[in-house]
């Protein structure tokens, strides 16, 4: 069958890319055709530019990104006789305005920010390729000029006219500026390109002395090279040199100066070749600014800040630095409720205020992301200056900020790190500042805190434990110890509380207070709590089977606030009990009093369901929270666990009568509500006896046994049975 042709935008070109590339090439050709010295017509130039457009489009979407393709496009422009500086300037303008617009879609499609960044780097690479191509062409022309000069001196007189004609053609038609001066520096000849570079008037260039064109930004060795050349000590030199034009503007050039000698080899003239690099330099400066400054606020960004901080930390003896790490309090709520546009305008206002706080020498403010800012100060007195800087920042934020007719009161938390240079790396300083900032936020915000090495170490350890938690559960690093619950009436083992431990590879055995809050924060408490419940229930069932009379040895398992909110709590508990064969009445779930303060019916519902099944609910740490005794009537609890703080006074002799009265009253109230009372922290026989006399039901503490392995508890229960 005969293959049918596919039009652009059809199945062969589903997104119409070829059509858009041709439109891009059309715009490009119209922009540069008037300044291009070529024999091509404009449509022919368009066809010549189309493959280059395809190359730029492919480079825009390439993964990994490789801007070198644009470098080849710049070189190809020179080869196509597009050598005028205006052709480069117009090309960069077309790419900046239209490349992403016409060639921006791809698979996968980059973000708008990534596309703009890639487009800027492609412009930079194209300009570099154009410069290299122009330089290579210049060197070829220079060689032709030198060859013509030698031929003019060595050929017979009858060939002189033809040689000079060729020299004049190269001289006048060169795409770069060319000038000839004598050894005293008087400019004798200039071509049209060089004249245009200096403003277009020949008398502003011809007749002047080379030394008139000194510039404050000349490199120190430029004029030393020039003196060596005119003395005949070198044949050429190449430098980057700025010049003042007649109107006061600056012309930046790549300048090559060569020495021309007479037939006997004596220095006679100097030949200068100038490539105009002003546009490229401005482009580089613009790209550098965009790469080192925040697009929203105009402040230095993370890149520039890290450069400054590294420089400050590498200072010599006696150098110090002070760093303020600022995070706005509650900014996320503004973004979420009022939108990112309002949030962005607020950040701009905040940035302006912060900028006004860091105006002294050695101070700078940067935005390093989101609503996070840093302020840096350097010098010998940073111990005092950094505190003053943080105080100024908080004061500057104190006044309300008006955005779109709304007034916002902005607060901030600041972490301060100060010290001598050379002792810490950039990463260590930023980590300490970040940790300290979060300490300020945890303390209520709108304040600053000073870095504390011990606090840093604790935070780093917490972070390490948090990171290691998920893998620790998978590797089986957790285990359970059991502390017996003893019946105060006859001293028998009534049950046990399951207490989870973490056998950490580096830190050894860790208690629950060291990792349970971290598990709560990360959400890992749900799978960890499920594992503890499974293991504890399985162990309780094993004890019942081994117990001499098969009695209902109970197991107490702690529930965290996060587990209370987990929708699968009831179903998972039922599943664990059914799989193990343990009766619900042999399980007691302990919930802290603070977790149930102000609890609504929705939160209490799963506890009620478990209680209706026969599972006991214990109110743990009773007395340490609000202790609204009237609230006990609506809670589905069957056990009160008195905190150890109530029994500490009983360790003295005689016992504190106030503590005795409080415990007696709580026990009386609990029993009137048909609640059992368990007391924690029993450490002496005298305590145990007093608690028995006060009517407490069960107790646990070191007097009976410390938490230990399950076989230890089984031994205690067997001893009771004897």
In this prediction, residue 417 carries a pLDDT of 94
The pLDDT-based confidence of 698 (bands split at 50, 70, 90) is very high
In this prediction, residue 5 carries a pLDDT of 39
What does the pLDDT average to over 157-176? 60
The pLDDT-based confidence of 611 (bands split at 50, 70, 90) is very high
The pLDDT-based confidence of 675 (bands split at 50, 70, 90) is very high
What does the pLDDT average to over 614-632? 77
The strand ranges marked E within 465-524 are 478-487, 493-504, 508-510
For residues 545-580, one letter each, b for 16 or more C-beta atoms within 10 angstroms of the residue's C-beta and e for the rest, the string is eebeeebebbbbbbbbebbbebeebbebbeebbeeb
Q: Of 72, 48, 49, 46, give the one whose Cα is nearest residue 59.
A: 72
The angle formed by the CA atoms of residues 546, 549 and 555, to the nearest 5 degrees, is: 60
Nearest-angstrom CA–CA distance, 436 and 446 = 13
Out of 161-175, 217-231, 400-414, least confident range? 161-175
End-to-end CA distance of the chain: 99
**DSSP reduced 3-state for 457:** helix
Q: List the 187-190 sheet strands across, edge first.
A: 187-190, 177-182, 267-276, 250-261, 236-244
Q: State pLDDT tens for residues 319-332.
A: 899 999 999 988 88
Q: How many residues does the chain have?
A: 722
Does 3 sit behind a cis peptide bond, omega within 30 degrees of 0 on the bond before it? no
Q: Is the pLDDT of residue 160 over 90?
A: no
Q: State pLDDT tens for residues 55-84.
A: 998 888 888 888 889 999 999 988 888 888
Q: Would you state the structure tokens that stand for residue 107, as one six-digit string?
A: 């698979």
Nearest-angstrom CA–CA distance, 668 and 673 = 9
What does the pLDDT average to over 150-174? 56
Nearest-angstrom CA–CA distance, 480 and 380 = 55
Nearest-angstrom CA–CA distance, 338 and 454 = 40
Q: Of 394, 440, 518, 536, give the one whose Cα is nearest residue 479.
A: 536
Report the share of the chain in percent with pLDDT over 90: 34
Q: State pLDDT tens for residues 449-504.
A: 998 888 877 777 777 888 888 889 889 999 999 999 999 988 888 899 999 999 98
Q: Is the pLDDT of residue 338 over 90?
A: no
- Higher pLDDT: 596 or 526? It is 526
Q: Is the pLDDT of residue 372 over 70?
A: yes
Those residues with Cβ within 8 angstroms of residue 430's Cβ, 6 or more apart along the chain or in another chain = 309, 325
User: Considering just the CA atoms, what is the radius of gyration of the chain in Å?
Assistant: 41
What does the pLDDT average to over 223-237? 91
Out of 304-318, 336-350, 519-533, 620-634, least confident range? 620-634
Nearest-angstrom CA–CA distance, 131 and 279 = 11
In this prediction, residue 394 carries a pLDDT of 94
Q: Of 172, 226, 167, give the one whose Cα is nearest residue 202.
A: 172
Those residues with Cβ within 8 angstroms of residue 18's Cβ, 6 or more apart along the chain or in another chain = 8, 9
Nearest-angstrom CA–CA distance, 358 and 506 = 44
pTM across the whole model: 0.52
Report the share of the chain in percent with pLDDT over 70: 89
In this prediction, residue 569 carries a pLDDT of 93
What does the pLDDT average to over 94-119? 78
Q: At what angle do helices 569-580 and 525-546 cross, to 10 degrees?
A: 30
For residues 279-303, one letter each, b for 16 or more C-beta atoms within 10 angstroms of the residue's C-beta and e for the rest, the string is bbbebeeebeeeeebbeebebbbbe
Task: Please give the helix or strand (H or E) that residue 592 lies within, else none.
Answer: strand 587-592
**DSSP reduced 3-state for 487:** strand
Q: State pLDDT tens for residues 566-588.
A: 999 999 999 999 999 999 999 99
Beta strands 698-699 and 676-679 are: parallel
In this prediction, residue 151 carries a pLDDT of 56
In this prediction, residue 327 carries a pLDDT of 94
H runs (alpha helix) in 95-215: 100-103, 112-154, 160-173, 192-197
Residue 62's DSSP bridge partners are: none
H runs (alpha helix) in 502-587: 512-522, 525-546, 561-565, 569-580
In this prediction, residue 714 carries a pLDDT of 57
DSSP one-letter code for 705: -
In this prediction, residue 13 carries a pLDDT of 52
Q: Is the pLDDT of residue 370 over 80?
A: yes
Mean of the per-residue pLDDT values for the chain? 84
Those residues with Cβ within 8 angstroms of residue 414's Cβ, 6 or more apart along the chain or in another chain = 324, 325, 326, 390, 393, 394, 437, 440, 447, 448, 449
């Amino acid at each position: 069958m005969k293959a049918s042709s596919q039009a652009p935008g059809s199945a062969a070109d589903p997104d119409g890319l070829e059509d858009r590339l041709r439109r891009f090439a059309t715009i490009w050709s119209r922009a540069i055709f008037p300044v291009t010295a070529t024999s091509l017509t404009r449509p022919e130039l368009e066809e010549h530019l189309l493959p280059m457009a395809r190359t730029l489009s492919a480079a825009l979407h390439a993964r990994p990104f490789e801007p070198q393709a644009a470098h080849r496009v710049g070189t190809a422009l020179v080869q196509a006789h597009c050598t005028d500086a205006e052709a480069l300037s117009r090309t960069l303008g077309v790419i900046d305005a239209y490349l992403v617009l016409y060639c921006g879609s791809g698979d996968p499609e980059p973000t708008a920010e990534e596309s703009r960044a890639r487009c800027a780097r492609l412009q930079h690479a194209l300009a570099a390729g154009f410069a290299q191509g122009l330089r290579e062409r210049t060197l070829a022309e220079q060689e032709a000029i030198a060859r013509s000069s030698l031929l003019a001196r060595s050929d017979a007189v009858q060939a002189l006219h033809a040689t000079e004609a060729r020299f004049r053609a190269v001289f006048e038609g060169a795409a770069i500026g060319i000038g000839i001066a004598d050894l005293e520096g008087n400019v004798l000849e200039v071509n049209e390109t060089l004249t245009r570079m200096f403003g277009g008037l020949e008398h502003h260039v011809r007749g002047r002395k080379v030394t008139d064109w000194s510039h404050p930004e000349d490199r120190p060795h430029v004029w030393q090279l020039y003196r060596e050349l005119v003395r005949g000590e070198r044949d050429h030199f190449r430098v980057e040199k700025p010049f003042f034009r007649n109107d006061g503007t600056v012309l930046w050039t790549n300048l090559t100066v060569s020495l021309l000698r007479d037939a006997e080899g004596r220095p006679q003239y100097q030949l200068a070749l100038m490539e105009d690099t002003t546009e490229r330099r401005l482009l580089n400066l613009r790209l550098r600014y965009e790469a080192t400054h925040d697009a929203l606020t105009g402040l230095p960004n993370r890149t520039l800040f890290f450069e400054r901080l590294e420089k400050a930390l590498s200072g010599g003896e006696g150098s110090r630095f002070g760093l303020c790490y600022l995070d706005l309090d509650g900014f996320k709520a503004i973004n979420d409720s009022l939108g990112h546009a309002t949030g962005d305008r607020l950040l701009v206002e905040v940035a302006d205020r912060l900028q006004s706080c860091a105006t002294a020498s050695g101070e700078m403010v940067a935005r390093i992301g989101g609503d996070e800012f840093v302020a840096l100060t350097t010098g010998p007195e940073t111990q005092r200056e950094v505190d003053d800087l943080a105080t100024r920042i908080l004061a500057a934020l104190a006044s309300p900020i008006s955005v779109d007719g709304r007034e916002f009161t902005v607060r901030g938390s600041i972490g301060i790190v100060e010290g001598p240079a050379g002792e810490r790396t950039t990463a260590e300083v930023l980590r300490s500042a970040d940790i300290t900032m979060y300490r300020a936020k945890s303390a209520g915000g709108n304040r600053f805190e000073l870095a504390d090495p011990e606090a840093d170490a604790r935070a780093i350890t917490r972070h390490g434990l948090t990171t290691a938690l998920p893998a620790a559960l998978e590797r089986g690093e957790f285990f359970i110890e059991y502390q017996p619950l003893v019946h105060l009436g006859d001293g028998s083992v009534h049950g046990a509380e399951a207490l989870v431990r973490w056998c950490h590879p580096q830190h050894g055995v860790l208690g629950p207070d060291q990792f349970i809050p971290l598990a709560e924060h990360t959400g890992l408490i749900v799978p960890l709590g499920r594992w503890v419940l499974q293991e504890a229930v399985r162990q309780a069932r094993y004890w019942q089977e081994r117990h001499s009379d098969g009695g209902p040895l109970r197991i107490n398992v702690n529930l965290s606030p996060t587990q209370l909110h987990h929708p699968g709590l009831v179903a998972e508990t039922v599943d664990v009990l059914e799989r193990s064969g343990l009766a619900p009445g042999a399980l007691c779930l302990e919930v802290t009093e603070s977790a149930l303060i102000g609890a609504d019916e929705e939160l209490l519902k799963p506890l009620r369901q478990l209680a209706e099944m026969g599972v006991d609910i214990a109110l743990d740490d009773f007395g340490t929270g609000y202790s609204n005794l009237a609230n006990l009537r609506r809670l589905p609890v069957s056990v009160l666990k008195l905190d150890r703080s109530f029994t500490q006074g009983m360790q003295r002799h005689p016992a504190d009568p106030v503590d005795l009265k409080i415990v007696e009253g709580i026990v009386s109230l609990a029993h009137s509500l048909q609640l059992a009372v368990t007391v924690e922290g029993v450490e002496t026989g005298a305590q145990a006896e007093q608690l028995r006399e006060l009517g407490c039901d069960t107790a646990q503490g070191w007097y009976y046994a410390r938490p230990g392995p399950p076989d230890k508890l089984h031994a205690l229960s067997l001893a009771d049975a004897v």
